[in-house]
A and B are shown apart, each in its own frame.
Chain A
Amino acid sequence: MARSKAASKKQQKQQQKRGVDFKKIKRKLGRKLPPPKNATNTEVKSKAIVLPEQSVASEKAGLAVSKKGLTLKELLQQTSHHNSKVRRDALMGLKDLFQKYPAELRSHRYAVIEKLRERIGDDDKVVRETLYQLLKTVVFPGCKEDNQGPFVSLMVAYIFNAMTHLAVDVRLMAFKFFDLVVQYYPPSFSLYADKVLQNYEDILRKNQFYLEDKAKLRSALAGLVRCLSLLPCNKRKVDSSEENMAGQKILHAFELDMPAESSGFSSITKKLKDLVPVLVNCFQDFFPSVHHMPLLDAQSFDCMHSILQSIDLVVGFFGYGIHQGKPASQLSYEGPDEAIWDHTISSLLLKKLFGVFPLNPTNHLSEKVDDRFFILNIVITEIFLRCSEWICPPGFLLEKFLQYIENALLGSVRPAVTHGPVKQFGRNIYFFCCLLFQSLCCKWQVIGSLVFFSNCGANHNNGILQAFTKIFEGCNPQSSLKLACLSAIEEMLIPGDDMVYPDASDPLFEYQITWIRALPQLLILLGDKHPSSSQVVLHLLLRLGQCANSSSPFSREYENMQYSLDKFYSSCVDRGDVYYGPFIRLSWDSQELAICGLYYFSNLGPFLLKSIAFCCLCSELEHLVLFRIIEVLHSAFSAGHIQIADYISFFMTLLSRFKVLPENIYPDVESDAKISNRGTFKLLTNTVCSCLSRIGDDSLVFQILEQVIFDQLLLKPPLDNACALLRVLVVLDCKPTRLSEQGIITLSKYLSGYLFEVVHCIPEDDEENSLPTHQQTCCYYMLPCFFLFDRSPKLLKLVLNLMGSLITESSSSPSSHSYTQYGNDNSNQINAVVSALLLMHKDTKVRKIISSFKEEVVHILQIIHSLQVKFLVTGNPENGLAVITYTYDLSGRSQVTSFSLSG
């Protein structure tokens, strides 16, 4: 029994598997007879091998197929199959196919879209949804690079068709499709704006189904918001996008999209005007749900939010049109204000929208609901502020809104601002303040319709500003709220087109001063961790500087800022211990902004200059930035913003304090910028020299500098710095020298020591195989001396005398001389003198001058000669020998020259 049952089950299974072809027909009822024992089993067992593509396998060999083995052509055919499941499967198959073979889509996109667009108005919900997914995930991203104009135009006709479909579902879905199109090809909105807006108007008018299908409506409204956000409503935004565009592209390129975009928006004003009442009515329809339901559910909230946003955008567009109309009014003399803004809309908004403000939850249930109401109220406020410029709202309404803004800023409406939609909040703060400032500006000009602000709004303005300042000061420096506050401040600080400054009596002025004072602190607080925020602050500071001329009330504040900005650059903590501010580690852009800001201080004092100088001396600072600072300071100086004494001492500080690394001079290493910054220092010296020579009257500058440089030299700076200082002296000097008598004496004392040092510091190889680089290095250090000798022979005479006496002194009292630390040893001393003389000899020009001081040279030689004898006598043969060889060399040559001259 059991066996047979199992068998029959098996059979059934088999039957099911085999399908209808092999079905056995039961003819008899009852039990089966057992087969006879000798019966042969005649059953033939067979198994079907399912090969779905069997029949057309050969054709499909090289073709792209979907998982189910269907080609593109078959799939496209199936999309118009009468069975909805087949259609859906076909769409799935297409998605599958395109994901596997993206090339297939690219080559056949027009054919594909021509077929797919028929499904936009499909009756079946699932099919439409699948199509949406297909378009969204595969088709549009795949065709993004290509010219989308014709591609989109193929679809749009069907979308509009579906928008007027009888079934509401199809219609709502069509808006979703259009949203998708706009997402990938934004110009399509301006091309078809007329029709789309008409359709939106129609569907929103038929409000019987809103409340049933809020989810669909929500997505459709989201699409509307996206479309309307493409309207130009904020001039600043348009500008900034253009700024980004400028750059790499060809200058006089033919611009494809221009006509479409510019002509598109002017014609739809009327349509938008029709749309506003519909939107407002629609918003009203949601009212009962707000009031009756205990909770404002997410969907109706989204719908309401979208509606309000749409109204906001439309109103913004009107405002933009009015502002734009001004320059255009040169052409047409009828007022653009009346053309765009008519009173039906304003009265409608007044009655239906602003009348119900603020929306309040019936019972305070959860914070989430409170948040939602808050957002809605904020958007309404935004709309109100946007259009308060054109409509004259009655006083009580204004009072109500200003009260709300004030409360919102103070956080009393919603106590928890920190969590929740902070971004939204920040944006709105920015917005409030922009508009507030506009109205305040208008107050100064006293333009007819806006006098009310000064009448009834003054006390609230004050409160709002106070609240704003509180928020600005209170929020975290890194937060996006701070950024929003900053951009609002920029709007309120920088006078607009009319270039009207607030006067000191205005309440705003007081707050402006507070904000300005907070900026440097903020900059220092931000440090180098938040480069983008720092950049915003620096940009604001720069803008402030640009318009803070002497007539501006901010000029004094800007001037005072230099006392608080020093920490941004560097500050001296203790003697010699320097704390570097964030400036050094900021990005190049920010540094540039900061440096440019320096130019606008009308009197850049020594305090800030000192701090900048320390910054410049920091080894971490890019040398490009260093030169940029010098360049800008020079510009500031020539514009009369820096005192000459401060300017010169800035350069002197740079030259005397710059730490050249490594201290030893290896000619080979010098070319390697990574190891040594000597190259930078040489460039710096050149730059400083050229700046100083550009100051003007060289002789005057020289007089100022002479004593300063001597003072610095007597402090015995490292060789490089001394050389730089001497070079400055040389650049400003002329022939014959401008040095004073006293100066020559001082300098001669220093120079004799300097020459020793040069000779000592530059490691000398053997005379024979000395490299050309070595000679160049020597030359670099000796050259300023040579120039000085050339200009003042007296100086050379004094130096030679000193060198002579130095040897005698050191020989009489070894290691007692204070001049040079290298000259402890007698022989070293002599060595140095000799090599210095030799170096001078190598230069032809100096040789000529030296030859006129034969006596002095001969005197030195005599001293050395006597020393030789002394050494030999005292029994210090090694030293003696060394001296002899050198002396021989020198005396030989010099005697030859002197002989030749005398002969």
Chain B
Amino acid sequence: MELLIASSSVADAGIGCWDLESGAEQLRYKSCASPPHGLACVGQRFLASSQLREQPSASSGSILYWSWSKPQVEVKSLPAEPIKPIAANSHGTYIAGGGQSGDIYMWEVASGRLLKKWHAHYRAVTCLVFSQDGSFLISGSEDGCVRIWSLLTVFEECESQRASHLYLHSFTGHTLRITDIVIGYGGVSATIVSASEDRTCKVWSLLKGRLLRNIVFPSVIDAIALDPAEHVFYAGSRDGSIYIAALNAESPSTSSYGMHIIGSLSDHSKAVTCLAYSTGDLLISGSEDGMVRVWDPITHNIVRMFRLAKGPVNNILVVRRPLYLNLGSFSNPHTSSRRHGSQLPPPLDKYVTSADEDVDNKGVIRLPSLYNAPRDASYISHRTIDNHLKELQQQGSSAATEMEVERLKHECNRTLQMVQQWKKMYENLHEFCVNELLDGDQVDGSKRNAV
């Protein structure tokens, strides 16, 4: 039960949503003009997309939220500067956005708080990816640099002050804009593949922080998708074909496309702009002609085609159908929307709020009755834990003072005893010395007398 979600840069196309199995089109969410990498599904709860600016004069682009059940935009937030790429971690607790100035913004979804903003690149950030476990954020920039951020380092004040740089690794191998980044499974030892306008894809090791492989393609690669087994990756190029590049084996150099490129899927007349891989072993590609094609990667045949828009398809997501989202809710959105009420989190903040204003009741979100999400409960438990902590601290401190007093008393006794002991010893010594002196005097006196 997977949903295929696609958005385009043309505003009137909206976000298309199809059932991948049946091919039935679901709701179409309206008025979305997303840049590449500007669409994210936040924890399967709702869709978020950054928006292209309509006119260059407009001061900033916005980030919009759609709930599953309503085609209209529900929440609109205005960040401090135009955000192009956004990404959410798999639980949907954070949204990261990359700014035009090279800054990365990190918001907490539930409260909308801007947790952190830092200068990440010289030039505009072009894509952002969270690692599978959400502990790393990988960013690509217009200056060809790929940087890996460990969220642990980014958020801990002392760590970030101690190190000369925030990032874990900085890969500067690409000469032009980064167009796409994917990360494989495997936590710390995952493989990262980055594509750039310099016609290359580079394979990096997260663990060692170095280049593993450089693959030169016949044309610019705009999108990559990783095979779940990580044997190969698919690279959608501007010449309209999807190249298959080897990730593990030593490929024969006789390949007609180039080193490490095993083959290609080709039908697109126009450039491939985005790729996604579904768990049902299907490769999905979006093209500049506004079509979404579903491929069988084994037979290299097209299984399905969907039409999104006249303009280029910019983003494709494959998400598991949220449990509460049955087909009924699509058919009559009005009733469902009434049932759910406004369930989306508040808009994202523009600026970093100081730590004092930390206590923000917005964080405790109104839980919708229908979805069973233990991860949302964590927002409540966060508060609860805070309270618990406070209590514990208070209780603990009184108990601790008692213990401290007890200890001090004990110490006092011991010291007194010691003082006694020392006094005794001193007296003994004194006595001894006096005796010695007196004896000596007597001897001297007797000698003198003898003389």
Interface 1/0 per residue, B72-113 and A, CB below 8 Å? 000000000000000000000000000001100000000000
Q: Does B212 contact A (CB under 8 A)?
A: yes
Q: Which B residues are in CB contact (< 8 Å) with A695?
A: none
Given contacts A330-B159, A499-B119, contact A250 B248 (CB under 8 A): yes
Q: How far is the CB of A98 from chain B (nearest CB, A)?
A: 35
Q: Does B182 contact A (CB under 8 A)?
A: no
Task: Name which residue of chain B comes closest to A495, CB basis.
Answer: B122
Pick from A242, A247, A546: contact of B123, CB under 8 Å: A546
- CB pair A242 B249 closer than 8 Å: no
Interface 1/0 per residue, A499-538 and B, CB below 8 Å? 1000000000000000000000000000000000000000
Given contacts A252-B248, A498-B164, A499-B119, contact A596 B175 (CB under 8 A): yes
With the chains together, A242 CA to B198 CA distance in Å? 21
Q: Which A residues are in CB contact (< 8 Å) with B247?
A: 251
Q: Does B211 contact A (CB under 8 A)?
A: yes
Interface residues of A in 255-309 (CB under 8 A from B): none
Interface of A is mostly: loop
Task: Name which residue of chain B comes closest to A326, CB basis.
Answer: B163
Q: Does A812 contact B (CB under 8 A)?
A: no
Q: Does A768 contact B (CB under 8 A)?
A: no
Q: How far is the CB of B102 from chain A (nearest CB, A)?
A: 7
Q: Does A592 contact B (CB under 8 A)?
A: yes
- CB pair B119 A592 closer than 8 Å: no
Interface residues of A in 780-815 (CB under 8 A from B): none
Chain A interfacial residues counted at CB < 8 A: 37
Q: Does B364 contact A (CB under 8 A)?
A: no
With the chains together, A552 CA to B101 CA distance in Å? 11
Q: Does A72 contact B (CB under 8 A)?
A: no
With the chains together, A246 CA to B203 CA distance in Å? 10
Q: Which B residues are in CB contact (< 8 Å) with A596?
A: 175-176, 198
Q: How far is the CB of B86 from chain A (nearest CB, A)?
A: 19
Q: Does B142 contact A (CB under 8 A)?
A: yes
With the chains together, A499 CA to B147 CA distance in Å? 14
Pick from B175, B203, B219: contact of A593, CB under 8 Å: B175
Pick from A239, A243, A250, A632: contact of B176, CB under 8 Å: A632
- CB pair B211 A246 closer than 8 Å: yes
Pick from A242, A251, A498, A542: contact of B213, CB under 8 Å: A251
With the chains together, A599 CA to B123 CA distance in Å? 12
Given contacts A596-B198, A599-B176, contact A246 B248 (CB under 8 A): no
Interface 1/0 per residue, B141-182 and A, CB below 8 Å? 011110000001100000100111101101001011100000
Interface residues of B in 186-208 (CB under 8 A from A): 191, 197-199, 203
Given contacts A552-B122, A593-B175, A639-B142, contact A497 B164 (CB under 8 A): yes
Q: Which B residues are in CB contact (< 8 Å) with A593?
A: 175
Q: Which A residues are in CB contact (< 8 Å) with B320?
A: none
Q: Which B residues are in CB contact (< 8 Å) with A628?
A: 199
Q: Does B264 contact A (CB under 8 A)?
A: no
- CB pair B122 A499 closer than 8 Å: yes
Pick from A239, A250, A497, A631: contact of B249, CB under 8 Å: A250
- CB pair A635 B176 closer than 8 Å: yes
Q: Which A residues are in CB contact (< 8 Å) with B175?
A: 542, 592-593, 596
Task: Name which residue of chain B comes closest to A550, CB basis.
Answer: B101
Q: Which B residues are in CB contact (< 8 Å) with A631?
A: 197, 199, 219-220, 238
Q: Does A195 contact B (CB under 8 A)?
A: no
With the chains together, A418 CA to B219 CA distance in Å? 47
Q: How far is the CB of B229 from chain A (nearest CB, A)?
A: 12
Q: Which B residues are in CB contact (< 8 Å) with A599?
A: 176-177, 197
Task: Name which residue of chain B comes closest to A242, CB basis.
Answer: B210
Q: Which A residues are in CB contact (< 8 Å) with B219?
A: 631
- CB pair B220 A242 closer than 8 Å: no
- CB pair B177 A639 closer than 8 Å: yes
Q: How far is the CB of A855 from chain B (nearest CB, A)?
A: 40
- 17 A-B pairs with CB atoms under 8 Å apart are A246-B212, A247-B214, A251-B248, A323-B164, A326-B163, A327-B168, A330-B153, A498-B165, A499-B119, A546-B145, A549-B101, A592-B175, A593-B175, A596-B198, A631-B220, A632-B197, A635-B176
- The 6 A-B pairs of least Cβ separation, nearest first, read A497-B165, A546-B143, A596-B175, A547-B122, A246-B211, A549-B123
- Could you tell me which A residues sit within 8 Å of B by CB distance? 239, 242-243, 246-252, 323, 326-327, 329-330, 496-499, 542, 546-549, 551-552, 592-593, 596, 599-600, 628, 631-632, 635, 639, 694
- Could you tell me which B residues sit within 8 Å of A by CB distance? 101-102, 119, 122-123, 142-145, 152-153, 159, 162-165, 167-168, 170, 173, 175-177, 191, 197-199, 203, 210-214, 219-220, 238, 247-250, 288
Given pairs A246-B212, A498-B165, A549-B123, 4 additional interface contacts (CB within 8 A) = A327-B163, A329-B163, A330-B153, A599-B177
